Structure 1
Amino acid sequence: MRRLLAQTSLVGLRRARSAAWVALGAAGIVLAGCGTPAAPSPGEAVPAHLDITLIGFNDLHGNMEPPRMAHTVQTPSGPVAVPAGGMAYFASAIAALKARGPHHAVVSAGDMVGASPLVSSLFLDEPTIEAVNEMHIDFNAVGNHEFDRGWRELLRLQHGGCEKFTTRQPCQISQPFAGARFGFLAANTVRVEDGRTLLPATGLKRFTQGGATVTLGVIGLTLQATPTMVSPSGVAGLRFEDEAATANALIPQLRAQGADVIAVVIHEGGNTTAGVQETSCAGLSGDIVPILERLDPAVDVVVSGHTHQAYVCDYSRVNPAKPFLLTSAGQYGTLLTDIQLRVDTRTRRVVSKTARNVIVQGEAFTGSQGRVPMTAAVPAFGADPKVQKIIDTYRAAAVPLAQRPMGQAVAPLRRRLTPSLESALGNLVADAQLEATRAAESGGAQLSLMNPGGLRADLVPDEQGVVRYGQLFAVQPFGNQLVVKTLTGAQIKAALEQQFASGGNTVQRPRVLSVSRGFSYQFDLSEPAGARISRMVLHGVPLQGDTPVRVVMSSYLDSGGDNFTALTEGRDRLVGGLDLDALEAYFRTHSPVALPATDRITGAR
């Protein structure tokens, strides 16, 4: 009975697969645990209630191996750090939570893939999908990072196959790649040409006990701001609609299909001041709040993500008219949310709901703060052998490449921002991209711009100062191409103004570009929008509005990513090599690499 049905495809009906998937159409539902409810046997009592375990997680980001992270718990003898994460342990933790009762569902609130460590990203995140298949989850509400390589590649991860949509080669290990055996949901992601959803909007899972049947309805949502966070070319032809309005419109449809319990699984989130194991709404803030304020109170649970924060919140404490249970399980598979729902089988409604975040204690590690051993303060989970085998297979294929020395650095290069919102790592990457494209035949670049969100890890050399390929890959895992084109001084100023006033880029939450050596400018946030940038200087010469400049940037920025629409302008566009190749070449020719100056931007607040 535990067979999954249904998934949509933009390319038509797919052949039936071993997991018994059947295409229903782009606005269809996904059924799990389907079938006709069993009639009670003669004399069999119908239970007064049925208990469901809903297991939630989010922002896994392809962390196959333990991410060397710890969560602190309070014990009678004081705080204790607990080593957490690793998909083999994560799989065992899910199995342990399922084993507590016969009725369970597992949902992910997005960013399962994308911005992943090398063991997954090098293979287009096929390893992550294969590992999660072994966990037998039900649904993943896609996040913004699922669109990092474009919506066609997202559909390939769902349906399988080896069609090439990126610069990297698919199916390097699994030939062919079978795709996900769980449903991707994206209720508010709509194709412009026909108004149909790219992926199913909702899913159902039915539970039967003693003749009583209870149905869980799941609505999967991607944050509406996704187009501002990924390459516009990757979401071309798609429209991302309002999250609350989309969910509210779907609730009557789910009720008509028999849903008794409504769960919204959304890749949007917030922040609280509560600890990992607290269950309060203390200090709740963030973009999830206005969505909750407009959400139909018929929703029972909201499983959220995106902010990488961990919280469990009875939202009725914030707004008594909105009795949602709001949860988030942090990041990188270090936590799972154990949600317990009790459903009255007569009224077919939830009568009690509780949740807690469970630390996925894995293996000890030694980090920058010393050794973090395993502890008896929280349960430990063994490694799931099937998932561990997948990890070992892909690690063996990746390690020889990851361990190749690239050069040396004299000190750690970090993403930490200075008061002027620069970072040493960002400036280094900008310098590397400028050097890779400075030659006339490579584009003749004079200035480089680098977005901070494209830097996914700090770059810390080992004791001998050596930096390896795997570390460079972790810094820039997206495989963007370098684009050189001519912009005027006025267009460059317009782009820099958009650091503080464009989409989600605001004075309160600026997104400041790193710039290459030889360029400097000032900003003053007390000035009005459009007048905050001044004194732009390129190689000692003030930059005039009509001065042409050859500027290099990633293909992500070239297409207007991170709300920098001004960078879609320009002329004489030349597409070159990969950003990662430029960083590798810089280390090979400049070792030992020194810390770049962080005096290129002067700011006033």
Structure 2
Amino acid sequence: MRRRPLAALATTACLSVAIAAAATPASAAPKPAGPKPVDVQLLAFNDFHGALQPPTGSGGAVNGVPAGGLASFATHLRQQEAENKNTLTISNGDLIGGSPFLSALFRDEPTVDAMDLLGLDVATVGNHEFDEGVDELSRIIDGGSCHPVDGCLDGDGYDGSDADWLAANVVDRTTGEPIRSPYEVYKFQGVQVGVIGLTLESTPSIVSAAGIADVRFLDEVETINRYVAELRADGVESIVVSLHEGGAAGADPNGCSAPTGPAFDITRAIDDAVDVVLTGHFHNGFVCEGANEVDGKLVTQALSNGRLITDLDLSIDRKTGDVTSAAAENVVVTRDVPLDAQAQALVERYEAISEPIANEAVGRVTGPIVRAQEPLFGSLVGESPLGNLIADSQLAATDDEAGAVAAFMNPGGVRADITFPSSAAGEGDGVVTFGEAFTVQPFNNLLTTLTLTGTQLYAVLDQQFAVGRVLAPSDSVRYSVAGGAVVPGSLTIAGAPVTADGTYRITVNNFLAGGGDGFTALTAGTDVVNQPGFDVDALIAYLAGDPVAPPATDRITVTG
């Protein structure tokens, strides 16, 4: 290397000092600003439940404003996407399942097609994604085949879903590996955002056991923390959790008052590296941000049926990859916007295919029959007119050949009211169509008749107060409740007292028979027989005679 003479070095040094002095003001010069942060937008929703048509009743409005419907949802979503090219759209579980007739008739394939049309990026599994079991969920996601029973009802095959489906805490019972990706990482202008998706650990208690026999549902907190560690080890610092579990935080869909519930418990327990927790399952609306953040995390939920879209804005530091600010707003999917033409065309296509089936009259009612449960004691609710009607229909379908003497219906399986006014199809006031009946009971559960002893039947009914869900009883059943338990000796069937060692043929759906909704006492039943056809068939048969009046809710009496 050629060395400079010392004199030259000294001259150069002096020149450098002079230049620096000339360039530096009396006060220190501000450091050059770093690179601008990257703005990323998340558009999230939950519990869509195949609501392609505008939902009706209380589930079709937000603070009295009509909301929802795929064509309006698509317009709002695309308007919000246009605000930021760095956008992820995320469904936080129950995209499908528990769906109205239009989607459920086609096994929710129309909803998956609709979400592909809208460009859904992430679909986290919820409990309803497992309504027909893991195999059917795999078919829905992967496509390539028609439904094994119904075939391709729309006549054009089925290609599956384009979204990234996440199931971090649902693992194969043999291998221990998640049945779907636990998370995905998305890159925007050099920064990375990791999204972990999972459902509630207690999913097995609210879906049919047979369809999930080969998988396990893991603890939410442990699962999230495991994958947060993996993401951070890979250099991902902006982390979003899409959690199909819920809570409550007041009535304001953009407020956060006294947040409580399992989703908030989980949020408080997970790694502080998580920036955002998107929730679902409870069908509530809230935005917990700023002073109302939960353990330093932004937590949101967007009601149900596509009535809200949560618009979240994240600012991410280019150097560190950290979220430096986060804000959110729940935007109402109003119906006063132009309908998205492509989305509307999809809905109309399926309406045309299903119309002859949907509009077929199957029975008559003398007035509206509602699913809302009436107060029982404390905060617990009990009977509903429609729940009782369904229990009556299930007993009528099984009291002959199966020898059933009583039936019980889980309230969560009753998805809509039976209304009295004629629909737009013009079937007439009081006429119930197949589409309306199917919307009430869309799960295609089987009716299961089993034998219980009197002691076991008392145990089933007492279990109602442990799980917080009261079964609708058939009209053959009467009993009294005091102190959170059935009064001993008060239970009668067809007017006769139920004895401890007597045996009784009881009908429930196969979901309950497998211990669903926490009714594990039903799994002790013997001589189990699944009846042909589905539960909705029993309801339709019951409605087919003389006009049916709303049943009284006088089968359970509170005495203390």
Kept after mapping to 1: 8 A contact 2:383/2:553: yes
TM-score by length of 2: 0.88
**After the TM superposition, which residues 423-502 of structure 1 pair with which residues of structure 2 at under 5 Å, given as runs?**
423-440=384-401, 443-462=402-421, 464-501=429-466
Question: How far apart, in 2, do the equivalents of 1:355 and 1:402 lie?
Answer: 39
SS of the residue 2:38 aligns to: strand
1:291-350 superposed Cα distances (whole Å, 9 cap, x missing partner): 01101111111111111111111276365xx21111111111111011011111122211
Is 2:25 the partner of 1:60? Answer: no
1:126-146 superposed Cα distances (whole Å, 9 cap, x missing partner): 000000001112111110010
Deviation at 1:70, TM superposition (A): 2.2
SS of the residue 2:97 aligns to: coil
1:566 equivalent among 521, 524, 529: 521
Return closer, same or farther for 1:500/1:533 CA change in 2, 3 Å cut-off.
Answer: farther
Kept after mapping to 1: 8 A contact 2:479/2:487: no
Partner of 2:130 in structure 1?
147
Deviation at 1:437, TM superposition (A): 1.1
Question: How far apart, in 1, do the equivalents of 2:224 and 2:96 lie?
Answer: 24
Partner of 2:75 in structure 1?
92
Deviation at 1:214, TM superposition (A): 0.5
Question: How far apart, in 2, do the equivalents of 1:447 and 1:488 lie?
Answer: 13
Deviation at 1:526, TM superposition (A): 4.9
Deviation at 1:598, TM superposition (A): 1.7
Is 2:173 the partner of 1:173? Answer: no
Partner of 2:477 in structure 1?
519
Return closer, same or farther for 1:431/1:250 CA change in 2, 3 Å cut-off.
Answer: same
TM-score by length of 1: 0.82
SS of the residue 1:53 aligns to: strand
Partner of 2:26 in structure 1?
none
Kept after mapping to 2: 8 A contact 1:123/1:170: no
2:321 equivalent among 348, 366, 371: 348
Partner of 2:21 in structure 1?
none
Return closer, same or farther for 1:326/1:604 CA change in 2, 3 Å cut-off.
Answer: farther
Kept after mapping to 1: 8 A contact 2:70/2:306: yes
The one-letter amino acid paired with 1:401 is I
Structure 1 stretch 388-397 or stretch 147-156: which is displaced more? 388-397
The one-letter amino acid paired with 2:444 is G
1:597 equivalent among 546, 552, 558: 552
Return closer, same or farther for 1:163/1:134 CA change in 2, 3 Å cut-off.
Answer: closer
Query: Which of structure 1's runs of 4+ aligned residues deviate more than 3 A?
Result: 315-319, 531-534
Is 2:352 the partner of 1:401? Answer: no
Partner of 1:584 in structure 2?
540
Deviation at 1:152, TM superposition (A): 0.8
Is 2:169 the partner of 1:188? Answer: yes
Partner of 2:491 in structure 1?
536
Deviation at 1:46, TM superposition (A): 7.9
SS of the residue 1:187 aligns to: coil
Deviation at 1:572, TM superposition (A): 2.2
Kept after mapping to 1: 8 A contact 2:237/2:273: no
**After the TM superposition, which residues 276-355 of structure 1 pair with which residues of structure 2 at under 5 Å, given as runs?**
276=253, 278=254, 280-314=255-289, 317=292, 322-355=295-328
Question: How far apart, in 2, do the equivalents of 1:116 and 1:145 lie?
Answer: 9
The one-letter amino acid paired with 2:304 is Q
Deviation at 1:158, TM superposition (A): 0.6
Deviation at 1:151, TM superposition (A): 1.0
Return closer, same or farther for 1:534/1:456 CA change in 2, 3 Å cut-off.
Answer: farther
Kept after mapping to 2: 8 A contact 1:427/1:515: yes
Return closer, same or farther for 1:390/1:259 CA change in 2, 3 Å cut-off.
Answer: same
Partner of 1:224 in structure 2?
201
Deviation at 1:161, TM superposition (A): 2.6
Kept after mapping to 1: 8 A contact 2:123/2:164: yes
Partner of 1:118 in structure 2?
101
2:62 equivalent among 38, 61, 71: 71
Question: How far apart, in 2, do the equivalents of 1:258 and 1:140 lie?
Answer: 24
Kept after mapping to 1: 8 A contact 2:448/2:507: yes
Partner of 1:50 in structure 2?
38
Deviation at 1:516, TM superposition (A): 1.1
1:371-430 superposed Cα distances (whole Å, 9 cap, x missing partner): xxx4xxxxx3x2222222221111111121111112211121112223441111111111
The one-letter amino acid paired with 2:334 is Q
Kept after mapping to 2: 8 A contact 1:316/1:323: no
Deviation at 1:193, TM superposition (A): 1.0
SS of the residue 1:499 aligns to: helix
Kept after mapping to 1: 8 A contact 2:39/2:86: yes
Kept after mapping to 2: 8 A contact 1:521/1:533: no
Partner of 2:178 in structure 1?
197
Return closer, same or farther for 1:526/1:427 CA change in 2, 3 Å cut-off.
Answer: closer
Kept after mapping to 2: 8 A contact 1:450/1:554: yes
The one-letter amino acid paired with 1:173 is D
Question: How far apart, in 1, do the equivalents of 2:290 and 2:259 lie?
Answer: 9
Kept after mapping to 2: 8 A contact 1:244/1:291: yes
Deviation at 1:191, TM superposition (A): 1.3
Question: How far apart, in 2, do the equivalents of 1:602 and 1:414 lie?
Answer: 20
SS of the residue 2:288 aligns to: strand
Question: How far apart, in 2, do the equivalents of 1:581 and 1:344 lie?
Answer: 58
Question: How far apart, in 1, do the equivalents of 2:73 and 2:385 lie?
Answer: 34
Is 2:223 the partner of 1:246? Answer: yes
Question: How far apart, in 1, do the equivalents of 2:97 and 2:489 lie?
Answer: 36
